[in-house]
Amino acid sequence: MQKCENCNAQFSWSKIYKSFWWMYKPVECESCGVRHEITIFGRFTFVILTILPMLIFMYFLTPFNNVFVTIGAGSLILIVGSFFTPFVIQYEKAS
């Protein structure tokens, strides 16, 4: 899990999770108040873990003939993938 570059305090999972669902909002350290922004590589990682698997499933691998079931399964893949992203997303100290 990501830590503050200034004071080495660990960010909470929920704080990071909310950060990238609100247009990559910067995370502020609760201990020292330093703002951290998501890196470009972190944004690509978010897309690779969430949106890309959903799109691959919905367009190429879907075993369902029903559009609503396909959209529901794709949405479930997106949500499950997003639960893992706070563990791998990287932030850097804002300048």
Q: What is the per-residue pLDDT across 21-74, written as a single tens digit (0 to 9) for each? A: 888 899 999 889 899 999 999 999 999 999 999 999 888 888 888 889 889 999
CB neighbour class for 24 (10 Å; exposed up to 12, middle 13-18, buried from 19): middle
Question: pLDDT confidence of 75, banded at 50, 70, 90?
Answer: very high
- Domain range annotation of the chain: 13-93
Structure-token pair, residue 51: 């949106």
